[in-house]
Amino acid sequence: MYFTLLVVVILTALALVAVALGIARAISPRSYNPQKGEAYECGIPTRGRSWMQFKVGYYLFAILFLMFDVETVFLFSWAVVVQDLGLYGLTSIVFFLVILVLGLAYAWRKGALEWK
Protein backbone atom coordinates (compact mmCIF):
# COMPACT_ATOMS: atom_id res chain seq x y z
CA MET A 1 0.00 0.00 0.00
CA TYR A 2 2.78 2.43 0.94
CA PHE A 3 4.63 1.69 -2.28
CA THR A 4 1.51 2.64 -4.28
CA LEU A 5 1.18 5.86 -2.31
CA LEU A 6 4.86 6.66 -2.82
CA VAL A 7 4.41 6.27 -6.58
CA VAL A 8 1.28 8.47 -6.41
CA VAL A 9 3.20 11.20 -4.56
CA ILE A 10 6.10 11.10 -7.04
CA LEU A 11 3.69 11.28 -10.00
CA THR A 12 1.86 14.19 -8.32
CA ALA A 13 5.11 16.11 -7.99
CA LEU A 14 6.05 15.51 -11.61
CA ALA A 15 2.52 16.43 -12.73
CA LEU A 16 2.65 19.69 -10.75
CA VAL A 17 5.78 20.85 -12.59
CA ALA A 18 4.63 19.56 -15.98
CA VAL A 19 1.18 21.20 -15.70
CA ALA A 20 2.53 24.52 -14.42
CA LEU A 21 5.17 24.72 -17.16
CA GLY A 22 2.71 23.46 -19.79
CA ILE A 23 0.14 26.17 -19.00
CA ALA A 24 2.86 28.81 -18.88
CA ARG A 25 4.26 27.75 -22.25
CA ALA A 26 0.77 27.65 -23.76
CA ILE A 27 -0.41 31.13 -22.71
CA SER A 28 2.82 33.12 -22.46
CA PRO A 29 3.92 35.38 -25.34
CA ARG A 30 6.97 34.46 -27.39
CA SER A 31 9.32 36.77 -29.19
CA TYR A 32 12.84 36.32 -30.48
CA ASN A 33 15.69 38.65 -29.69
CA PRO A 34 19.37 37.63 -29.70
CA GLN A 35 19.93 39.67 -26.51
CA LYS A 36 17.60 37.35 -24.61
CA GLY A 37 19.98 34.46 -25.08
CA GLU A 38 22.81 36.18 -23.22
CA ALA A 39 23.73 35.33 -19.64
CA TYR A 40 22.43 37.86 -17.11
CA GLU A 41 25.62 39.25 -15.61
CA CYS A 42 24.59 42.86 -15.08
CA GLY A 43 24.85 43.94 -18.71
CA ILE A 44 28.50 43.04 -19.23
CA PRO A 45 29.17 40.22 -21.74
CA THR A 46 30.38 37.03 -20.06
CA ARG A 47 34.14 36.53 -20.18
CA GLY A 48 35.26 32.96 -20.68
CA ARG A 49 33.28 29.91 -19.67
CA SER A 50 31.38 29.46 -16.42
CA TRP A 51 32.03 25.72 -16.32
CA MET A 52 35.46 25.91 -14.79
CA GLN A 53 37.54 24.84 -11.80
CA PHE A 54 36.05 25.93 -8.52
CA LYS A 55 37.27 26.73 -5.04
CA VAL A 56 38.39 23.56 -3.26
CA GLY A 57 37.04 24.71 0.13
CA TYR A 58 33.52 23.54 -0.72
CA TYR A 59 34.88 20.10 -1.57
CA LEU A 60 36.57 19.77 1.83
CA PHE A 61 33.29 20.44 3.62
CA ALA A 62 31.54 17.92 1.39
CA ILE A 63 34.07 15.25 2.46
CA LEU A 64 33.59 16.14 6.13
CA PHE A 65 29.83 16.00 5.67
CA LEU A 66 30.10 12.52 4.16
CA MET A 67 31.87 11.23 7.27
CA PHE A 68 29.28 12.63 9.65
CA ASP A 69 26.28 11.76 7.51
CA VAL A 70 27.18 8.06 7.44
CA GLU A 71 27.56 8.31 11.21
CA THR A 72 24.00 9.70 11.50
CA VAL A 73 22.67 6.71 9.58
CA PHE A 74 24.29 4.36 12.12
CA LEU A 75 23.02 6.48 15.01
CA PHE A 76 19.41 6.32 13.78
CA SER A 77 19.36 2.53 13.91
CA TRP A 78 20.89 2.66 17.40
CA ALA A 79 18.51 5.39 18.63
CA VAL A 80 15.36 3.27 18.20
CA VAL A 81 16.64 0.48 20.45
CA VAL A 82 18.59 2.47 23.07
CA GLN A 83 15.75 2.31 25.63
CA ASP A 84 15.85 -1.50 25.61
CA LEU A 85 19.64 -1.63 25.71
CA GLY A 86 19.92 0.70 28.70
CA LEU A 87 23.39 1.28 30.15
CA TYR A 88 24.98 -1.09 27.60
CA GLY A 89 23.71 1.09 24.75
CA LEU A 90 25.05 4.21 26.42
CA THR A 91 28.58 2.87 26.96
CA SER A 92 28.87 1.36 23.49
CA ILE A 93 27.79 4.59 21.78
CA VAL A 94 30.21 6.64 23.86
CA PHE A 95 33.12 4.76 22.24
CA PHE A 96 31.60 5.30 18.78
CA LEU A 97 31.14 9.02 19.40
CA VAL A 98 34.64 9.43 20.87
CA ILE A 99 36.18 8.06 17.67
CA LEU A 100 34.07 10.46 15.62
CA VAL A 101 34.88 13.47 17.78
CA LEU A 102 38.56 12.56 17.42
CA GLY A 103 38.04 12.77 13.66
CA LEU A 104 36.42 16.19 13.98
CA ALA A 105 39.19 17.36 16.32
CA TYR A 106 41.80 16.18 13.81
CA ALA A 107 40.10 18.12 10.99
CA TRP A 108 39.84 21.17 13.25
CA ARG A 109 43.52 20.95 14.23
CA LYS A 110 44.60 20.53 10.60
CA GLY A 111 42.73 23.70 9.70
CA ALA A 112 40.11 22.04 7.47
CA LEU A 113 37.38 24.05 9.20
CA GLU A 114 39.00 27.41 8.43
CA TRP A 115 37.65 29.23 5.37
CA LYS A 116 40.60 30.40 3.30
Task: Please give the residues from 79 up to 108 whose contact with another protein meets the rule CB under 8 A.
Answer: 79-84, 86-87, 89-90, 93-94, 97, 100-101, 104, 108
Interface residue with another protein among 43, 76, 95, 111 (CB under 8 A) is: 76
89: number of Cβ within 10 Å = 15
Minimal CA–CA distance to 93: which of 69, 65, 67, 85?
85
- Asked whether 60 and 112 are in contact (CB, 8 A), the reply is yes
Any idea what the Cα angle at residue 56 is, between residues 54 and 58, rounded to 5°?
95
Rule CB under 8 A: which residues touch another protein?
2, 4-6, 8-17, 20-21, 23-25, 27-31, 36-42, 46, 49-51, 54-55, 57-58, 61-62, 64-65, 68-69, 72, 75-76, 79-84, 86-87, 89-90, 93-94, 97, 100-101, 104, 108, 113-115
